Amino acid sequence: MTDFASDFGLDPHTALGPHMILGTFILFCRVGACLMLMPGFSSPQIPTHVRLFLALAVTLALAPLLLAHIPLQALSEEPLTALRFIGAELLVGATIGMLGRLFLLALETMATAGAMAIGLSNPFGVVGEESEILPPFVTLITLSATALIFVMDLHWEVFRGIADSYVAIPVKENFDVNFSLLQFSKLLTSTFQIALRISAPFIIYTVIIQTTVSVINRLTPYISIYFISTPFVIFGGLFLTYMVVKSFLDQFMVGFLSWLSAG
């Protein structure tokens, strides 16, 4: 903080000037955009003004550590130069937040496939992590994963990752589109691999069950086997969920924590 203030000839003890305010706002652009998309913090169940105040509080808490990473060019009195830095930081923050959100989107996609596999793809669900209505089974899985982020104190890892991002991705005037697309492609592959491993038991279950029901239906064409088997399919799917839910939530959290630690 002393170095930052001395660069502009300010008293370190009363260094609240226009340059510091602009530097803090540039920090807020990345932090706020990231938290508005990061799983857990971006839930529609949290009011928008609460998320905004949280992003502001995190920015002010990290500002003494991160203001030194703001280049002097970003604090120029020229509006166009400042706007370019602000726009670039908004895109960087949105990219980081969207990378974290890929984990939840992959889990939601595979949970939807699992709900269809066990016969619980009822469209009359509730609004969970996303703004659209999802089947109750999918909402249960996504809300459980979101709750575990806070139970396991991974939100502190999110804050640490945001602080470390200023070293990995310095504040620049231009947004590196190629780097962002490369990160998206790498993480999209790994997240859906994790989600596919999570949903594998449900895929195997539906293949076995549907094959069995089809064979029985061919043997007894005059009996509506499909409607008779539905309660048993649902019961078997719920029992399978009870057996594997801890394992696949563990896999999801390990993957998310690995990304936070290495990202």
Token output for 260: 């936070």
Over range 237-260, report the average pLDDT: 85
Say if residues 104 and 138 touch (Cβ distance below 8 Å): no
| Cβ 70 vs Cβ 158: under 8 Å | no
- Would you place residue 127 in the very low, low, confident or very high pLDDT band (cuts 50, 70, 90)? low
252 with 145: CB under 8 angstroms? yes
Which pLDDT tens digit goes with each residue over 16-71? 567 788 888 999 999 999 998 888 888 777 788 888 898 899 999 988 888 888 88
For residues 230 and 177, is the Cβ–Cβ distance under 8 A? no
Is residue 230 over pLDDT 60?
Answer: yes
Whether the per-residue pLDDT at 261 is higher than 70: the answer is: yes
HEC letters along 27-92: HHHHHHHHHCCCCCCCCCCCCHHHHHHHHHHHHHHHHHHHHHHCCHHHHCCCHHHHHHHHHHHHHH
Q: What's residue 129's pLDDT? A: 56
Q: Rounded CA gap, 59 and 175, in Å?
A: 21
138-185, pLDDT tens digit by residue? 888 888 888 888 888 888 888 888 888 888 888 887 888 888 888 888
- Rounded to whole angstroms, how far apart are CA atoms 248 and 194? 9
φ and ψ of 126, to 5 deg: -130, 160
Q: What is the pLDDT of residues 58-76, one digit of tens each?
A: 999 988 888 888 888 877 7
The amino acid present at 136, given as its one-letter code, is P
Q: What is the mean pLDDT of residues 96-102?
A: 89
- Report the chain's mean pLDDT, rounded to a whole number: 81
State the virtual CA torsion across 227, 233, 238, 244 in degrees, nearest 10: -160
The count of other CB atoms within 10 Å of the CB of residue 110 is: 25
Q: Cβ atoms within 10 A of the Cβ of 258, count?
A: 12
Q: Residue 18 and residue 14: Cα distance in Å, rounded?
A: 12
List the domain boundaries for the chain. 2-262
User: Which residue has better confidence, 89 or 9?
Assistant: 89
| Residue 12 confidence (pLDDT) above 50 | no
pLDDT of residue 31: 92
Largest Cα–Cα separation, the chain = 91
In this prediction, residue 16 carries a pLDDT of 56
pLDDT at 145: 86
Read off the pLDDT of residues 183-220 as tens digits, 9 standing for 90 and up: 888 888 888 888 888 888 888 888 888 888 888 877 77
Best CA proximity match to 206, nearest among 107, 80, 110, 116: 116
